[in-house]
């Protein structure tokens, strides 16, 4: 049976959720699942905005058939061609062969890459600022290249002031009947997943996100309908402000995140000592993560959140411990910048991890690496405690 929710007079959410998928994009753990949002406008012309992943195709088509009734589908608007939003396009064309597919020129080319059906006879190619009138509604198209694929666009419904935002403003997590942000405790239950989604999926493209935010700032937006996660219909400025911080790589909170790589517990002990020193000096916002026990996507997200970062690693195979190296390269790939960083290295006979961590971090933009690196030989000795005091004070002195 169908499972739809009404957004306004003639606009509906017709998506669904997958709670069985373990890894989003086969990379990111999603213990709370993921939603795939698609939208339907019931106007003089019938309009579908995006489709869904194959995993929920049965639910999606039940929803669409229920809303269409005996009517044909006139338009499919493709805001984003990634398979989790277009996987059922081939079946859709078989069911509704008269449908016109609306997208920009890059979208149409990507459809040809993914599918074999005749797209040219169905294509309605649009560009920046073009509009489509469907009766009561006029839909305006705004390009958003590299947020986070080159063909991405967003669609603005002028009548209802709805922004269909593609992957922008998306969030990890399955929807549980409550699809609107004012039906859930978003900051308590969803913000961490929103941050982890943004930083890992879109984080590299901060400049492109800011370009889109500048474009949509001229619009009167009453509702934001993303392709993943809750629909926003109030407190929109707060969520945009969060994305502005993430897109400009501005720390969300003053505090210290410590990520450590340890085999026998000695480097972990060093991280704990530093955390205690910071706490004794009044720092309240401290997080510690074992890079072997915590997925890098979590630590990437936390690195976007915190103003100060500490990386503590053993030396392994004459280099950085493998999981720490993966994390640092991930941070570099996601373009993290504007952070103060401290380093702790450990090595029983030849400590080289600190120098190599510094090399990776030095190639990142506006990373202030403190000079007070602590070098441990096997384990922390009482004679080194002063070094931890100095490093804790150096971190605090750079906090605003």
Residues 165 and 264 both lie in one domain: no
Q: Per residue in 364-396, pLDDT tens?
A: 999 999 998 999 999 999 999 999 999 999 999
Residue 310 has pLDDT above 90, yes or no: yes
Residues 132 and 211 both lie in one domain: yes
From 383, 391, 380, select the one nearest 274 (Cα to Cα): 391
Q: Per residue in 170-195, pLDDT tens?
A: 999 999 999 999 999 999 999 999 99
Q: Per residue in 243-278, pLDDT tens?
A: 999 999 999 999 999 999 999 999 999 999 999 999
**pLDDT, the chain, mean:** 97
Residue 41 has pLDDT above 80, yes or no: yes
The pTM is what?
0.95
Q: What is the pLDDT, as a whole number, of residue 380? A: 97
User: Over pLDDT 70: what percentage of the chain?
Assistant: 100
Q: How confident is the model at residue 297 (pLDDT cuts 50, 70, 90)?
A: very high
Instruction: Judge whether 39 and 225 are in contact, CB under 8 Å.
Output: yes
Range of the domain at 312: 254-397
Exposure pattern of 293-310 as b/e (b: 16+ CB <10 Å)?
eebbbbbbbbbbbbbbbb
**Domain containing residue 290: CATH number:** 3.40.50.360
**Domain containing residue 231: CATH number:** 3.60.15.10
Average the pLDDT over 292-315 and give the result. Answer: 98
Q: Per residue in 52-85, pLDDT tens?
A: 999 999 999 999 999 999 999 999 999 999 999 9
Q: What is the pLDDT, as a whole number, of residue 393? A: 97
Residues 243 and 279 both lie in one domain: no
Q: What is the pLDDT, as a whole number, of residue 338? A: 97
Indicate the number of domains in the chain.
2
Residue 136 has pLDDT above 90, yes or no: yes
Residues 259 and 327 both lie in one domain: yes
Residue 113 has pLDDT above 80, yes or no: yes
Residues 233 and 339 both lie in one domain: no
Give residues with Cβ within 8 angstroms of 71, minimum separation 6: 46
Q: What is the pLDDT, as a whole number, of residue 281? A: 96
Q: How confident is the model at residue 143 (pLDDT cuts 50, 70, 90)?
A: very high
Both tokens assigned to 185: 């405790």
Residue 109 has pLDDT above 80, yes or no: yes
Residues 235 and 258 both lie in one domain: no
Q: What is the pLDDT, as a whole number, of residue 288? A: 98
Of 247, 270, 305, which one is at a domain's C-terminal end?
247
Instruction: Judge whether 38 and 52 are in contact, CB under 8 Å.
Output: yes
Average the pLDDT over 339-344 and give the result. Answer: 98
Q: For strand 100-103 and strand 75-77, is the pairing parallel, antiparallel, or unpaired?
A: parallel
Residues 264 and 233 both lie in one domain: no
Residues 9 and 71 both lie in one domain: yes
Both tokens assigned to 316: 């392994």
Of 215, 247, 279, which one is at a domain's C-terminal end?
247
Of 190, 213, 247, which one is at a domain's C-terminal end?
247
Both tokens assigned to 294: 């915590």
Average the pLDDT over 84-109 and give the result. Answer: 97
Residues 339 and 197 both lie in one domain: no
Q: What is the pLDDT, as a whole number, of residue 1? A: 74
Residues 265 and 291 both lie in one domain: yes
Residues 232 and 355 both lie in one domain: no
Average the pLDDT over 337-358 and give the result. Answer: 96
* Count of beta carbons in the 10 Å neighbourhood of residue 264: 11
Residues 19 and 101 both lie in one domain: yes
From 3, 73, 30, 91, select the one nearest 228 (Cα to Cα): 30
Residue 30 has pLDDT above 90, yes or no: yes
Average the pLDDT over 204-219 and give the result. Answer: 96
């Amino acid at each position: 049976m169908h499972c739809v929710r009404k957004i306004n007079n003639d606009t509906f959410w017709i998506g669904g959720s997958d709670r069985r998928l373990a890894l989003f994009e086969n990379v990111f753990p999603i213990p709370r699942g993921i939603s795939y949002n698609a939208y339907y406008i019931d106007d003089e012309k019938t309009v579908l905005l995006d489709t869904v992943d194959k995993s929920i195709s049965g639910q999606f088509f039940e929803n669409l058939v229920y809303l269409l009734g005996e009517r044909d589908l006139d338009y499919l608007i493709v805001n984003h061609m990634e398979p989790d939003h277009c996987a059922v396009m081939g079946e859709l064309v078989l069911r509704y062969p008269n449908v016109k597919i609306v997208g920009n020129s890059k979208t149409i080319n990507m459809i040809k890459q993914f599918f074999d059906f005749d797209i040219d006879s169905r294509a309605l190619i649009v560009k920046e600022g073009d509009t489509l009138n469907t009766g009561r509604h006029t839909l305006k198209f705004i390009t958003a290249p590299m947020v986070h694929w080159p063909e991405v666009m967003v669609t603005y419904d002028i009548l209802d002031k709805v922004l269909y935002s593609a992957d922008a403003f998306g969030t990890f997590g399955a929807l549980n009947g409550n699809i609107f942000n004012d039906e859930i405790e978003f900051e308590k239950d969803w913000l961490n997943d929103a941050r982890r989604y943004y930083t890992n999926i879109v984080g590299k493209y901060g400049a492109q996100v800011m370009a889109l935010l500048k474009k949509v700032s001229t619009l009167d937006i009453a509702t934001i309908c993303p392709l993943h996660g809750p629909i926003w219909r109030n407190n929109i400025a707060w969520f945009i402000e969060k994305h502005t911080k993430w897109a400009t790589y501005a720390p969300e909170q003053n505090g210290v995140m410590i990520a450590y790589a340890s085999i026998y517990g000695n480097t972990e002990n060093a991280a704990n000592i530093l955390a205690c020193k910071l706490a004794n000096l009044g720092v309240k916002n401290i997080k510690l993560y074992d890079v072997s026990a915590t997925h890098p996507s979590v630590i990437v997200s936390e690195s976007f959140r915190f103003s100060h970062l500490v990386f503590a690693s053993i030396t392994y195979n004459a280099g950085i411990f493998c999981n720490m190296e993966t994390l640092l390269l991930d941070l570099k790939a996601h373009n993290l910048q504007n952070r103060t960083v401290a380093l702790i290295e450990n090595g029983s006979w030849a400590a080289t991890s600190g120098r190599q961590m510094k090399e990776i971090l030095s190639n990142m933009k506006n990373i202030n690496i403190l000079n007070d690196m602590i070098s441990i030989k096997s384990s922390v000795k009482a004679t080194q405690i002063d070094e931890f005091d100095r490093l804790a004070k150096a971190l605090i002195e750079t906090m605003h």
